[in-house]
Amino acid sequence: GTWSSPRSCDRGERLVAFRLRVEAPRGLWDDTAANDMDVTCSDGTVLQGRGGPLGTWGNWSVPCPHGWGVCGLRTRLEPPQHRGDDTGLN
């Protein structure tokens, strides 16, 4: 894939919640796994991702408490499958 241009909350605002669009496993077909992410800023603005159309949106994360923000994201990556289908971010 390719990187899209960076997006951020307005100055002084923080990222406080997010949700992912994830494609379920397809068996022998090419799996894409995580395809897109939307985020919510502390002022209520939703920044929509620019990812792929495949998959289903998950639930929004629990919002950060007032005055706090997301400072990282823990992810799980599938190791290289060598002969199998690699998905990347899961």
- Model confidence at 90, in pLDDT bands (50, 70, 90)? low
Regarding pTM above 0.85, the answer is no
Whole-number Cα distances in Å, 86 to 11, 21, 62: 38, 18, 30
- Model confidence at 19, in pLDDT bands (50, 70, 90)? very high
pLDDT in tens, 31-82: 777 888 999 999 999 999 988 888 899 999 999 999 999 887 777 776 777 7
> How far, in Å, CA of 17 to CA of 39, rounded?
6
> How far, in Å, CA of 90 to CA of 40, rounded?
21
